[in-house]
Amino acid sequence: MLGRLAAGAAAVAATVALALSGTASAASPGNGEPASTGPKAAAPKDGPAPGVKAPGCWYSGNHWWCNNRVGAPVYQAGSEQVVAGYMYSNPSWFVCRTEGGAHSGGPHPTRHIWTQADNGAWGWMHDDQISSETNPLPTC
């Protein structure tokens, strides 16, 4: 009886040691695929899940940085329909924010953010193209 208990304890200790060392591999379910190691990460979205607050823009190197949609249009100053250029970088830097433009959707539907497009033209990006929370940006 003591021999079986000792053998069982040794097997548990070996399993725990492997798990803690990170060298254990997941068992296969028998179809050639590795076993699931937990829930799958959700596919990236254009912002946080409903009810989850987006991380805010951050200040670094004399600029405010925010995560934005790659290829987002930057509209010419004074026009909310004429595209001055596009922003292909992500994250991108921004200067300030303003309220009161055309309704563009998102958590701040009339907010626009002043920035410089990749072609060097200055203009406004609609807030709904930015996945970071833009409240930290200074007002223009």
Higher pLDDT, 65 or 4: 65
Domain residue limits, the chain:
58-129
Under the banding of pLDDT at 50, 70 and 90, the label for residue 14 is very low
pLDDT at 54: 66
**Amino acid found at 111:** R
Higher pLDDT, 10 or 68: 68
Indicate whether this model's pTM tops 0.75: no
Distance (Å, whole) CA 110 – CA 77: 15
Burial class of residue 87 (count of CB atoms within 10 Å of its CB; 0-12, 13-18, 19+): buried
CA distances from 59 to 1, 31, 124, 137 (A): 66, 50, 19, 9
Burial class of residue 80 (count of CB atoms within 10 Å of its CB; 0-12, 13-18, 19+): middle
